[in-house]
Structure 1
């Protein structure tokens, strides 16, 4: 089983790592700031259009290409070496894909290919394939 698609958008740059904490009745309470909630909602709206008919069972490979709008002296297809880090980018994406039932648990993602580029056409390419 395999699916792949491109989601045209400016990829979110805030990541799962940006959760905040506050103390309520002397206990830490974690929450998502508004920017993080908006990024999660954006991913959910785009990913919701590509939910597979049945969720993936067993191990999967997740390939993502994060295509950021070209800035400065960069050129189309050039690797992006600045923040955000690839591992932080893909964490929220996998969480949203789990919530949308692409698979039962993101622990099934046994192989990951994550690349980020400067691109003329910004967006996120996603490929999920059974291993």
Structure 2
């Protein structure tokens, strides 16, 4: 049985922002910024249609490709090199923060029972004309069976 989900999310990849801290009425509180809440809502709305009817119950592997829009400041030549994959996005956003945002969203949408089931992550960020995410989730046992064929 092939237990793989693959989809594309047509939105610029964003990172998981750090929680904010404040003191209100003498109490320390932790909260999310409005931008973070908005990013989470957008991702949830775009990913929800791809959620499985039943969450994965076994170990899973996850492949993420973050397509980062080429900066407007790039010259025409540098833009062409970036789109050809000859220049990689080595500035922010950090790839681990990109993964965190997506993994947390997939967990909230019940792609699996608990994110501790994720035993392997492969992530890549590259330049593209438009921002998007390419996501593939595979049951780990299915991946092992495919590799042994």
Fold in common (TM above 0.5): yes
Rg (Cα) greater in structure: 2
| Deviation by residue 1:16-68 (Cα, 9 ceiling, x = unmatched) | 24220112344421111111111111110111121012111111111100001
Alpha carbon RMSD of aligned pairs, Å? 1.5
TM-score (norm 1): 0.90
Name the structure 1 match of 2:45: 45
> Where in structure 1 do 4 or more consecutive aligned residues deviate above 6 Å?
none
Residue 90 of structure 1: CA displacement?
1.1
Task: Call closer, same or farther: CA 1:26–1:77 in 2, change over 3 Å.
Answer: farther
Contact conserved, 1:21 with 1:31, CA < 8 A, in 2? Answer: yes
Greater helix content: 2
Name the structure 2 match of 1:76: 83
Structure 1: segments with no counterpart, 5+ residues: none
Is 1:11 equivalent to 2:13 in the alignment?
Answer: yes
Is 1:100 equivalent to 2:102 in the alignment?
Answer: no
Structure 2: segments with no counterpart, 5+ residues: 141-149
Name the structure 1 match of 2:64: 64
The total of aligned residue pairs comes to 129
Task: Call closer, same or farther: CA 1:20–1:55 in 2, change over 3 Å.
Answer: same
TM-score (norm 2): 0.80
Contact conserved, 1:77 with 1:117, CA < 8 A, in 2? Answer: no
